[in-house]
A and B are shown apart, each in its own frame.
Chain A
Amino acid sequence: MNAENKVTFESFTERVAKRAKVSNTEADAYLHELSRAVGDALEAGDEVKLYHFGRFHTTYVDERPGRNPQTGESLTIPEQTRVDFSPYKALLLAVNWPFRNLRTRMLVEKEAGTRPSAIGWLLLALALLALILAGIYAYNRMSSESAAAPVAVVPANTEPAQPIVQQAPVVQEEPVATETAVVAETPAVSTTTLDTVASTPVEPVAVTTMVVGSGDTLWGIAASQWGDSSWWPVIYAENRADMAARNPDLIETGSLLRIPVLAGSAAEPTDADINRKAEAYRIVAGDYEQSGHARASEYRLFVNRNDAE
């Protein structure tokens, strides 16, 4: 019940008086007498039936276990006699007026969520069997192939010399091209950015790629890739050129992210990694500042701290 849809007793009395063509005082006295009469009847254990309106009756409720909703301690709710109101059809129909066109709709057997039939179970079992067989077949084929050509299982980030590893050689060129393109587009970028951008391609940086799934965050990706979520700006810096909205808090589902491979590890970073991280934090802080984000200063602080180290 809201305060706005509630009618005061005073205006209700006026309306009743108008409808019955009597004075307000008389209607007010009548309403009070009516509620007293109904209350007396109910107290005496009687019930009150009103035509086309409803029935007021009492129900005995035995004592039952309950809980104090505030403290959570168990207590026993004492026995009581409750007043119930059962509306009659006429009142129900009148009150349901806004939804009078809605009808009960029968569900067919499938929708009803009943237990699947025996044929359904059989089909499910067959499908499972087929899946297992396919898995065994694929596994056998893979193991025989790897026995024939063991070179194929070399990790992607060692040397981009092997032609089997397709990602590494392609992506190794990519960051150079896109990063310089960005710098050309925006000459406003400070010289420090230029220097580091120029220095990054010199290092042998390998890159892996991944597709952003629903619910993924840069923070989470960094945590799963390197075990340390604080490195997420590095991923952002790597992919910033591809992001239309320069918003570090926004990555799009289904887009391709390049994950740079660190020279050291997140736990024991090399100097190059630390520089890279500081640079990434500077980029993030810059983007946050442009969008007026409250965290910009925090990221700026982090950069300064890193520089001091």
Chain B
Amino acid sequence: MDQTELIEHIGEELRIPKTHSQRLLRATLREIRDLLKNGEAVTIPHWGTFDTAIREPHRGFLPPGFLPLGEGYAIFPKRRVPVFRTGKSLHDGVYDLDDPEEGEAA
């Protein structure tokens, strides 16, 4: 499912125009992005937690053809990455994939 399909789907469910749905989806994603940019976290019910984590500098190997640095060992700098932790209900729903009844219930 890509973004257009998602916008249409939610628009139909909530009976709101597509433009409206699109504006809300963009606002949501940008708001999450800005929170993570400030190092903040948010939990959205039935979905999961958006958080950040710090990765310490470490040594690694750059594969051949990695331009412009080239191939070889390198020190990767400290960085902050987004982290998504699956919410319990989403995990349970997806987990019971093989059992349709359970999946429906969750």
CB < 8 Å neighbour of B30 from A19, A27, A46, A95: A19
Contact with B along A68-94 (1 / 0, CB 8 A): 000000000000111101010011101
- Taking CB atoms, residues of chain A closer than 8 Å to B97 are 43, 45, 58, 81
B2 within 8 A of A: yes
Contact A20 B79 (CB under 8 A): no
In the bound complex, CA of A231 to CA of B94 (Å): 68
Known: A35-B45, A105-B74. A52 touches B29 (CB 8 A): yes
What residue of chain A has the Cβ atom nearest to residue B103's Cβ?
A43
- Taking CB atoms, residues of chain B closer than 8 Å to A83 are 48, 86, 90-91, 94
In the bound complex, CA of A42 to CA of B95 (Å): 10
- Taking CB atoms, residues of chain A closer than 8 Å to B59 are 107
Known: A7-B41, A12-B31, A12-B35. A91 touches B82 (CB 8 A): yes
Contact B75 A105 (CB under 8 A): yes
In the complex, what's the smallest C-beta–C-beta distance from B37 to chain A, in angstroms? 5
A36 within 8 A of B: yes
Nearest 10 Cβ contacts at the A-B interface:
A102-B77, A85-B84, A35-B47, A20-B27, A112-B73, A19-B27, A107-B73, A83-B86, A35-B46, A41-B1
In the bound complex, CA of A261 to CA of B57 (Å): 53
Tally of contacts, chain A with chain B, CB under 8 A: 187
A-B contact pairs, 13 of them (CB 8 A): A1-B51, A7-B40, A12-B31, A37-B6, A85-B48, A87-B81, A95-B33, A95-B36, A95-B37, A96-B79, A99-B78, A105-B74, A111-B73
What residue of chain A has the Cβ atom nearest to residue B50's Cβ?
A85
Contact with A along B54-96 (1 / 0, CB 8 A): 0001010010000001101111111111101011011101110
In the complex, what's the smallest C-beta–C-beta distance from A69 to chain B, in angstroms? 18
CB < 8 Å neighbour of A95 from B69, B80, B86, B103: B80
Chain B interface residue count, Cβ-Cβ cutoff 8 angstroms: 65
CB < 8 Å neighbour of B28 from A6, A7, A31: A31
- Taking CB atoms, residues of chain B closer than 8 Å to A38 are 6, 47, 90
In the bound complex, CA of A112 to CA of B72 (Å): 9
Contact A51 B37 (CB under 8 A): no
Contact A48 B42 (CB under 8 A): no
In the complex, what's the smallest C-beta–C-beta distance from B52 to chain A, in angstroms? 6
Contact with B along A33-61 (1 / 0, CB 8 A): 11111110111011111111110101000
In the bound complex, CA of A5 to CA of B38 (Å): 9
In the bound complex, CA of A45 to CA of B31 (Å): 27
A121 within 8 A of B: no
Contact A37 B13 (CB under 8 A): yes
In the bound complex, CA of A55 to CA of B14 (Å): 23
Contact A5 B41 (CB under 8 A): yes
What residue of chain B has the Cβ atom nearest to residue A97's Cβ?
B37
- Taking CB atoms, residues of chain B closer than 8 Å to A16 are 24, 27-28, 31
- Taking CB atoms, residues of chain A closer than 8 Å to B36 are 91, 94-95
- Taking CB atoms, residues of chain A closer than 8 Å to B90 are 35, 38-39, 42, 83
Could you tell me which residues of chain A, from 191 to 209, have a CB within 8 Å of some CB in chain B? none
Contact B80 A35 (CB under 8 A): no
Contact B14 A30 (CB under 8 A): yes
What residue of chain A has the Cβ atom nearest to residue B98's Cβ?
A81
- Taking CB atoms, residues of chain A closer than 8 Å to B34 are 94
Contact A94 B40 (CB under 8 A): no
- Taking CB atoms, residues of chain B closer than 8 Å to A95 are 33, 36-37, 52, 80-82
Contact B84 A39 (CB under 8 A): no
What residue of chain B has the Cβ atom nearest to residue A87's Cβ?
B82
Contact A49 B3 (CB under 8 A): yes
